[in-house]
A and B are shown apart, each in its own frame.
Chain A
Amino acid sequence: MRSLICRLIQATLIISLFVSCSDDAEEVSPENRFIRVYNDADFSATFYALDVKQTADNGYLILGQTRISESDFGVAYLLKTDSEGNVIWEYKADDTTINPAPSLMEIGGKYYFICGVNGILMEINETEGTALPSKVIPGITYPLHASTTPDGGIIILSYNQENNSTVISKLNSGLAVSWQSEYVIQEENSDEPIFDHLINTEKRLPFFTGSLEEGGYYFNGLSNFTISLIFVDPSGNQIGLMNGYQMDGAVSSIAHIQGSQFAVSRFTFGTNYILPTVEININEISNSEELDGNISSELAYNADVRIIKKTVNEKNVIIYAANTKSNQVVLYAYDEETGELLGSHHLGFSEGFEVASLIDTEDEGLAVLCTTNMAGRFNRISLFKISKGDVSSLCGE
């Protein structure tokens, strides 16, 4: 009997030790996966997240907007973190740097953003933790979005209040204007939604710019009576157009896969559609209402959506990040080839999170920048780092 009990004890302990040593969970280091909410103890301070980039030191450079009493517009706010998301420095601009467009751009190893009533290109000094005007771009007022182009230049979407028009501008690699095109807005009182967007008092509108894989550009801006997705050739001439329905129906995000194949999201009167692979003829006039896709009933009213293309374990996937009705941010992964939904993952809990930016990271993970309401009250910036393993799980691997 005693021998039997001894053997049972030994077996139990050996099994315990063996099991404790055979945990096959993903080994995560502090920079692979983290959540950071950046707090400021000032009751009256508000911070809105705009964009994030991973820097050469594997840290993160975050562009945001914060309110100041001297202006109705928010001013630029910058935050530099290390690879684990810990704050290295922050920079609050003064009222000369209002209205930053939600676009951090890396050109020649330097980071820029555009802001101001007149388009001021700001250069960020990572070492000193400041941002200084690099140049004023002529012909640009109220910049709404900007992005870098494959030729090392910038494409900028802006609003001309005087002419009541949308202006698309292309800067070359020397940051000089190559061309500008203007699109008249026929809708009366178009000022109101645009300024609500700029000062964050109402729903932000899905303004964006981008480059086509085979040359040419696209942008989502106000044109005629609607928010329209407009395609232009490399010289800035319009080649195609996808109308929305006033402010109530539009494409909310897009990523060019190849040829006429795109990954798109759109909304119409509050309902959101996800179209992971859709054919769009960029040379014709169409309407976003004609795009059939998956209705995502989980997403918030006219949800903010971000899309990136990514390769996960040699499979090309499309990843969407979007705001949900439950005030979380949801990530959806779709197979690029079949359009099949591979998985979903939710970020944030109860205090309200809204997506601002979704980027790929060096370690094959993801980083998602959000605005949250800390303690349910205070607008603050948050950063979610998602590990490679979590991305694989998201993609059903």
Chain B
Amino acid sequence: MITGYKLNGVILRQISILVFFCLSLSFLPVKAQRMLIGFKGGANFTQASVTEHFSAFQYTQVPEEDQTQKEYASIFKNSAGTQFGIVASFEFNNVFGLSFEPSYAQYRFGYNNQYKWESSEVLEETFEVAYDHQHKINYIELPLFLKFSAGSGKIAPYVQAGGFINIMHNASKSTSAEIIDEAGGSMEELTGDNNDVGIDNLLNKYYYGLAGSAGIAFNLPYVRIGLDVSYRQGFSNITDENARYTDVRSSNISFDVLDDIQLNNMQFSLVLHFPVNFSMGATGQGKKNTRYVVPYDMRRFKDEGKRGRRRN
């Protein structure tokens, strides 16, 4: 039997190999034709994938209808998070490149569950409470992609594949309750208490996995605009197993404990790339050339644009 710990170790090794493979590519003696830096931002949706359920609460006799089980929302039912960051791309030629896209992203996911107590003797003696648990995790993302572009025209589709390591900045959990207290004299759903608390102490600091993306780049003079859709498949558990029962709030049904969860995240981003070339000057005197150099293909687009206007 492979325990969670051993499994994590295996995955960690695989990810490490992948990351070092990507890093070694960055050290290949290949002269990049282009270097681009820029910004990206957009929205993302998260799917929580539970590898093992946990709860501090347990029935001594499980009722026919057990509603206490956590039901996680599907990816687009979860609230959208946002991400923004910088992009640094090294393009070895018109097809292959390497892209490092550090960003700050908020992942959001949630689940519902409810508890019901009813009397076996008096019909009106029932009490129900339904909880909506929402989680927000703010990560510093460090994804590294190998990029494959289809051509270098004005419109260039591309795909990317790589890995990511996320560093958790902070995390919070909010819980809202709806109550039906028939025993207390209410037949209607009442709004219960809402809580919003930090859960940084219950999550792993690092989160890693594989990532892929696809998009279309529009090469304009001095700027490349990209529309990018990326998907991150988490391989590690976001929950710190060693901290699971350390929080005193875990003994409260409105809080409970976290499951073992892997997050899968889909991001929709607008990317603005600016080509740069700050290579050492060719003056032969060792002076640094700080003059901005428009890469050759950008100059070509620009020149073609000028020629087109002259013809008209």
Contacts A1-B278, A13-B19, A349-B252 hold; do A42 and B115 have CB atoms under 8 A apart? no
| Given A39-B60, A85-B58, A377-B127, 16 further pairs, Cβ under 8 A | A2-B32, A10-B26, A35-B257, A37-B253, A39-B59, A41-B61, A41-B63, A42-B118, A42-B120, A43-B122, A43-B127, A43-B183, A44-B120, A346-B248, A347-B248, A349-B250
Which A residues contact B (CB, under 8 angstroms)? 1-2, 5-6, 9-10, 12-13, 16-17, 19-21, 23, 25-28, 33-44, 79, 85-87, 90, 328, 346-351, 353, 372, 374-375, 377-378, 382, 384-385, 390
User: Are A13 and B12 closer than 8 Å at their CB atoms?
Assistant: no
B180 contacts the other chain (CB 8 A)? no
**Cβ of A9: which chain B residues have Cβ within 8 Å of it?**
23, 26, 100, 144
Q: Considering only CB atoms, which chain B residue lies closest to A372 in the complex?
A: B251
In the assembled complex, the CB of B23 is this many whole angstroms from the nearest CB of chain A, namely 5
> In the complex where A35-B251, A349-B251, A351-B251 touch, is A87 in contact with B60 (Cβ < 8 A)?
yes
With A1-B279, A37-B57 as contacts: A351 and B252 at CB distance below 8 Å: yes
Contact of A19 among B60, B68, B100, B206 (CB under 8 A): B206
- Which chain B residue shows the least CB distance to A6? B26
Q: Are A25 and B242 in contact (CB under 8 A)?
A: yes
Residues from chain B with a CB closer than 8 A to the CB of A350 are 249, 252
Contacts of B144 in A (CB 8 A): 9, 13
Task: Looking at the assembled complex, report how far the CB atom of B70 sits from the nearest CB atom of chain A, in whole angstroms.
Answer: 15
A26 touches B242 (CB 8 A): yes
Bound-state CA distance A384–B60 (Å) is 17
Is B165 in the interface zone, CB < 8 Å from A? yes
B242 and A27 within 8 A (CB): yes
**Known A-B contacts A44-B122, A349-B252; A33 and B27 likewise in contact (beta carbons under 8 Å):** no
Partner of B117, one of A37, A41, A390: A41
- Residues of B within 8 Å of A25, CB to CB, are 240, 242-243
Chain A nearest CB from B231 CB (Å) reads 20
Q: Which residues of A contact B90 (CB under 8 A)?
A: 2, 6
Q: Is the beta-carbon distance between A20 and B59 smaller than 8 angstroms?
A: no
Which residues from chain B contact A34 at a C-beta distance below 8 Å?
Answer: 56, 245
Does B60 lie within 8 Å of A347, measured CB to CB? no
Asked if B251 and A353 make an inter-chain contact with CB atoms under 8 angstroms apart, the answer reads: yes
Q: In this complex, what residue of B is CB-closest to A384?
A: B251
A-B contact count (CB 8 A): 143
Interface string of B267-286 (1 = CB under 8 A from A): 00000000000110000000
With a cutoff of 8 Å between Cβ atoms, the chain B residues found around residue A5 in the complex are 88, 100
User: Which B residues are in CB contact (< 8 Å) with A328?
Assistant: 248
Chain A facing B: main interface SS:
mixed
A40 to B115, CA, bound (A): 11
Q: Which of B27, B57, B118 contacts A39 (CB 8 A)?
A: B57
B61 close to A90 (CB less than 8 A): yes
Q: Which of B32, B88, B125, B206 contacts A16 (CB 8 A)?
A: B206
Nearest Cβ in chain A — how far from B91, in angstroms?
Answer: 11
Give the chain B neighbours of A12 by CB distance below 8 A. Answer: 142
Does A87 contact B120, Cβ atoms closer than 8 Å? Answer: no
In the bound complex, do residue A44 and residue B26 qualify as a contact, i.e. CB atoms below 8 Å apart? no
The contact sample of 16 A-B pairs, CB cut-off 8 A, is: A1-B279, A2-B32, A9-B23, A17-B165, A19-B206, A23-B205, A28-B242, A35-B250, A35-B257, A37-B58, A39-B57, A42-B117, A42-B119, A44-B122, A349-B248, A375-B253
Taking the closest CB of chain A, its distance from the CB of B290, in whole angstroms, is 10
What is the minimal beta-carbon distance from B237 to any residue of chain A, in angstroms? 12
- B169 is an interface residue with CB less than 8 A from chain A: no
A16 touches B165 (CB 8 A): yes
Q: Which of A16, A36, A390 is within 8 Å of B58, CB to CB? A: A36
CB distance from A22 to the nearest CB of B (A): 11
Which chain B residues numbered 72 to 130 have a C-beta less than 8 Å away from chain A? 88, 90, 100, 115-122, 125-127, 129
Interface residues of B in 159-191 (CB under 8 A from A): 165, 167, 183
Neighbouring A residues of B206 by C-beta, 8 Å: 16, 19-20
Contact pick for B142, options A13, A375, A382, CB 8 Å: A13
CA distance A69 to B197 in the complex (A): 41
Q: How far is the CA of A79 from the CA of B58 in the complex (A)?
A: 12
Interface: B241 (CB within 8 A): yes
Answer whether residue B35 sits at the interface, using C-beta atoms and an 8 A cutoff. yes
Q: Which residues of B contact A19 (CB under 8 A)?
A: 205-206
User: Would you give the 0/1 interface string for B133-161, flagging 1 where the beta carbon is closer than 8 Å to chain A?
Assistant: 00000000010100000000000000000
CA–CA, A17 and B165, complex, Å: 8
Query: Does B14 touch A at the CB level, under 8 Å?
Result: no
Task: Indicate if the CB atoms of B117 and A378 lie closer than 8 Å.
Answer: yes
Instruction: Report B256 CB to chain A, min CB distance, Å.
Output: 9
Decide if B19 touches A17 in the complex (CB within 8 Å).
Answer: yes
Chain B residue, CB-CB nearest to A12: B142
Interface membership of B16, Cβ < 8 A: yes
Contacts of B118 in A (CB 8 A): 41-43
Decide if B12 touches A79 in the complex (CB within 8 Å).
no
B288 nearest CB across to chain A (Å): 9
Return chain A residues, CB-CB under 8 Å to B12: 20-21
Q: Most chain-B Cβ atoms within 10 A of its Cβ — which of A5, A39, A79? A: A39
Q: Are A28 and B57 in contact (CB under 8 A)?
A: no
Closest Cβ–Cβ distance, residue B187 to chain A (whole Å) = 16
- Taking the closest CB of chain B, its distance from the CB of A11, in whole angstroms, is 10
Q: Which residue of B lies closest to A13 (CB)?
A: B19
Closest 6 CB pairs of A and B: A20-B206, A43-B119, A35-B56, A43-B117, A43-B125, A349-B248
Contacts of B121 in A (CB 8 A): 44
| Residue in chain A with minimal CB distance to B67 | A41
A43 engages B126 (CB within 8 Å): yes
Q: Does B45 contact A (CB under 8 A)?
A: no
> Which of chain B's residues 14-61 have a Cβ closer than 8 Å to chain A?
16, 19, 23, 26-27, 32, 35, 56-61
Among B58, B244, B248, contact of A348 (Cβ-Cβ < 8 Å):
B248
**Does B194 interact with chain A (Cβ within 8 Å)?**
no
Specify which chain A residues have a CB less than 8 angstroms from the CB of B257 in the assembled complex.
35
Q: Is B255 an interface residue (CB 8 A)?
A: yes
